[in-house]
Amino acid sequence: MQYQYDISVVIPLFNEEESLPELVRWIKRVMHAHEFSYEVILVDDGSTDHSWEVVTALGAEDNTVKGISFNRNYGKSAALNEGFRRCSGEVVITMDADLQDSPEEIPGLYDMIKRQKYDLVSGWKKKRFDPLSKTIPTKFFNAATRKLSGIQLHDFNCGLKAYRQLVVKSIEVHGEMHRYIPVIAKWHGFTRIGEKVVQHQERKYGSTKFGLERFVYGFLDLLSITFVSRFKKRPMHFFGTMGTIMFVVGLGITIWIILQKMIGIYQGVRVRDVVDQPMFFLALVTVVLGVQLFLAGFLAEMIAIASNKRNEYLIRDKVGHLRR
């Protein structure tokens, strides 16, 4: 298969006007030093500063720099997803726009994809320049994700990653799922996932765009991606199993109560009416819930079969020639 470039660098950004010129120059130096053919795709996620004007100027100066501007802020996942759709490189590198990810890591990441045949390589910021309020929850979520996914990475949320092109063309990233791209990739059958210790830079300009609420969202996203990765293609396995168990338990309790009543009548023992027993109503509710869960699984199965559309995001403007 012929690729247009050796490397595509996809960079989501939001209000990073100060760091962009320095970042693009740094990437250019590294690429030229190693004689890579490349493109840089800057995805402006609805910035409210002058980031898009900077991207436009950089694109006018250098045709390797391309840009996409969202009409509003959709989030990092949407920006990555759109960049993945448009990239043409054999190896795709993602990094943040705040200069905390070093372009000097690109050759090493490229080598792990090309020569060591990994599908995906995730950076590990072993030494971080973040406050404890950020690093401690991050360690917790990384440990929880390792446990649930079986992927032995130390830093799932590191923005600096490398992919074979087939990986980014096969997955879809939405919501806040960018934190769990390795899990999504594994779910699609890309199991050769590696890790590389990378340098973490102190933030030079501006301030972080993420608050403490991202850890709450991260936990919910972890539960969501765990469920989706296991049951998206077969929701009936989850809902149907739960529904069947509840239906059988409820039906069993109902039969037991009725038999108990019949035996009591046969033996001439006074027994409470079936409808006077709270257990009967609990069994009835369990049967109804079981039927509803089974029907939910059936409907989810039909939706999963019928739904095969990629998300579309409203793009305000573009710079350079980008692959559709």
pLDDT band at 208 (very low <50, low <70, confident <90, very high): low
- Bridge partners for 68 per DSSP: 43, 318
Taking the C-alpha atoms of residue 26 and residue 199, their distance in angstroms, rounded to an integer, is 15
Q: How far is residue 92 from each of residues 38, 86, 262, measured CA to CA in Å?
A: 10, 11, 71
The two structure tokens encoding residue 243: 């529904």
Q: Note the maximum CA span of the chain.
A: 98
Tell me what pLDDT residue 218 has.
66
Say how far apart CA 296 and CA 112 lie, in whole Å: 44
Residues 69 and 216 in one domain: yes
Q: Is 254 a domain residue?
A: yes
Residue 179 lies in a domain: yes
Residue with token string 């996809």: 10
Q: Decide which of 188 and 132 is more confident.
A: 188
What pTM value is reported for the model?
Answer: 0.73
Q: Which residues contact 85 (CB under 8 A, 6 or more apart)?
A: 310, 323, 324
Let me know whether 194 and 285 are in one domain: no
Q: Are residues 164 and 200 in the same domain?
A: yes
The domain that holds 169 is classified in CATH as 3.90.550.10
Whether residue 245 sits in one domain with residue 218: no
Do 155 and 205 lie in a common domain? yes
pLDDT of residue 233: 65
pLDDT band at 35 (very low <50, low <70, confident <90, very high): very high
The domain boundary residue, chosen from 188, 209, 232: 232
Residues 243 and 228 in one domain: no
Neighbours of 63 (CB within 10 A): 11
Residue 81 is assigned to a structural domain of this protein:
yes
Residues 121 and 258 in one domain: no
Domain region containing 53: 5-232
From 210, 232, 254, the end of a domain falls on 232
Asked which of 206, 232, 258 is the last residue of a domain, the reply is 232
**pLDDT tier for residue 131 given thresholds of 50, 70 and 90:** low
Please write the tens of the pLDDT for every residue from 260-309.
888 888 787 777 777 778 888 888 899 999 899 888 888 877 776 666 55
Residue 12, in any domain of the structure: yes
Closest listed residue to residue 227, CA positions, set 261, 191, 177: 177
**pLDDT tens figures, 229-263:** 666 667 777 788 888 899 999 999 888 888 888 88
Look at residue 318 and tell me if it is in a domain: no
Average pLDDT, the chain: 85
Note whether 146 and 82 are same-domain residues: yes
Quick one: 219 and 123 in the same domain?
Answer: yes
- CA torsion 134→137→142→145, rounded to 10°? -140
DSSP state of 101: B
31 and 156 inside one domain = yes
Same domain for 216 and 243? no
Residues 135, 228 within the same domain: yes
In a domain, 323, yes or no: no
Domain count, the chain: 2
* 315 in any annotated domain: no
